[in-house]
Homo-oligomer: A and B are copies of this chain.
Amino acid sequence: MEPKLIHWEKLLDFSKRALMKLGVAEKDAWMVADNLVSSNLRGIDSHGVSRLARYVDGVKSGYIIANAKPKIVKESSVLANVDGGNGLGQVMGTYAMELAIQKTQKEGFGMVTVFNSNHYGYAGYYPLMALKHDFMGVSMTNSAPLAVPTFGKNAIIGTNPIAVTAPTKRNKPWVMDFATTTVPRGKLEVYNRLNKTLPDGWATDETGNVSNDPARVLKNLNNLLGGGLLPLGGAGELFGGHKGYGLTVMVDVFCAVLSGSNYGPHLVSKKEGNVVHPRIGHFFMALDPEYFVGKEEFKNTMDAYIDELKNSEKAAGQDRIYVHGEKEFEMQEKREKEGLPLDAKTVESLMGIATEYNEPIEFMN
């Protein structure tokens, strides 16, 4: 079956209107909608509008507060800690990244943490904002406990992504953005739908042994029976699984221990049958190369480095070396022109929202 196509502006508008019906202010609704649609445009469909229904549910069940506003609780010329008031993660994230950028405009540097927040979309969205000013950008967030520590049985740490950007002159900017587990949960769902076995090193079963059965791992995760995603580097220490485990905890330290938010096993929206705020934590940083080597030299060197990576000899059977962000910029160009493809499940979920809130949604086919 052909996927349903939608123009990104129509999807942005629909998502915004739906959120406004939930009591979200227009500007805030735009921030969430822009983050979701930007994720789809870049090919990161796992963090696109397929998530809108979850935010709607979060507001309806009460763990996301639709009209919460960010509040600075501690601040210096370069640092700040922000209370997210258990509002929408994208609203808190966009505000905090803007604050880090403002500080960087004045001082060359800004670092802002957020506590009491919710899912903030894809991590790369925020450091991309820094590129408009020719700044470097960094963002990290912790997330629901889906991963196991090295030698552990239970999923008590998140897939905690790290995103870093660096400006360029000729080439597309360098944009690194990934979960610190080998793969995210969405990848297991894809394998499950296709009835494919998982490669070793992706996930463990309820005993803590490596599992090749996506259905089993997903069922265990949903029912908290043990097992889960493996950190980048896989099981044990032979392939560096302890390094991925370290990165995951590092993200938690910067996002939650430092800001005073929930960490690791505590990032849940339901506890003993009751709805609770997950209290997710985020971290944002911007940095002006002018305070170091200088903006011009920084951008020229990034271009030279990217060229050298791309032009380097390829391994047998390979015809291209990618630099980070390249695939996503190409996808964005294509999807802006051709429309965003949405799978049947996402279309169904959007149609449900359209009906419930009496907001029309307009597809291209």
Q: Which residues on A are within 8 Å of B, measured CB to CB?
A: 74, 76-79, 81, 107-109, 111, 113, 115, 136, 148-154, 156-157, 164, 166, 174, 176, 178, 180, 182-183, 199, 201-202, 204, 207-209, 226, 232-234, 238-240, 242-244, 246-247, 249-250, 252-253, 257-260, 263-265, 287, 289, 291-294, 297-298, 301-302, 305, 308-309, 312-318, 320-324
Contacts and interface: CB of A to CB of B under 8 A. Distances in A.
A115 B293 CA distance: 10
Given A239-B199, A264-B305, A298-B257, A291 B74 contact: yes
Contact of A259 (B115, B178, B238, B293): B293
B150 A301 contact: no
Contacts of A320: 151
B260 A312 contact: no
B239 A239 contact: yes
Contact of A263 (B74, B239, B301): B301
A149 B306 CA distance: 12
Contacts of A149: 309, 312, 321
B156 A308 contact: yes
Most B C-beta atoms less than 10 A away, residue of A202, A257, A297, A309: A257
A238 B249 CA distance: 23
Given A115-B293, A149-B309, A259-B293, 13 more contacts: A151-B320, A151-B321, A152-B321, A153-B313, A156-B309, A202-B239, A208-B313, A208-B318, A232-B232, A242-B324, A257-B298, A258-B289, A263-B305
B178 A293 contact: no
A316 B136 contact: no
Contacts of A324: 242, 246, 249
Nearest to A293: B260
Given A253-B166, A257-B301, A308-B264, A182 B76 contact: no
Given A182-B240, A292-B113, A315 B148 contact: yes
B258 A151 contact: no
A292 B79 contact: yes
Contacts of A108: 76, 78-79
A253 to B, nearest CB: 5
18 contacts: A74-B291, A76-B109, A77-B107, A78-B78, A78-B109, A79-B109, A149-B309, A153-B312, A153-B315, A166-B253, A201-B239, A232-B233, A242-B324, A257-B298, A257-B305, A258-B292, A260-B294, A260-B301
B153 A246 contact: no
Nearest to A238: B199
A204 B314 CA distance: 12
B264 A313 contact: no
A257 B166 contact: yes
A72 B240 CA distance: 37
Contacts of A298: 257-258
A264 B304 CA distance: 11
Contacts of A182: 233, 239-240
A322 B239 contact: no
Contacts of A314: 151-153, 208
Contacts of A250: 164, 176
Contact of A292 (B226, B259, B264): B259
A214 to B, nearest CB: 15
Q: What 9 A-B pairs come out closest when comparing CB atoms?
A: A208-B315, A260-B293, A151-B318, A176-B246, A153-B313, A207-B316, A81-B292, A178-B243, A258-B292
